[in-house]
Structure 1
Amino acid sequence: MELRRIKQILSSTADIDVVYNGTSVWIDGLNDDEQTATVHLRGPLEERSVVDIAELEEV
């Protein structure tokens, strides 16, 4: 996913579906290097992961 689009999603109030490795995730924030983002799975689990933004995909 492009950096510009992640910034748009983070500033949006809409529920935008994003997947990481086929699993739906919430983007919690863009990291300072602007190449990785912190995400967590949608649902009851709150485990957060740092992932490469190139591996995120908008559905």
Structure 2
Amino acid sequence: MKGKKLLIIAVVGLVLFLIIGSPERAAGIVRDGFGLLGDAAQNIVEFAANIF
């Protein structure tokens, strides 16, 4: 339990460091991530449409 809590704190600290250190780069990473999720959702819908 203690290790899990320490890992969460470390990850949150790293994310905050990256956002504060380079906000433009962090925004680009988030934008790209949402773009990938949108593409994946669109591909799943196309797949399902082609099945039926």
Q: TM-score, normalised by structure 2?
A: 0.23
Is the radius of gyration larger for structure 1 or structure 2? Answer: 2
Higher strand share: 1
Q: TM-score, normalised by structure 1?
A: 0.21
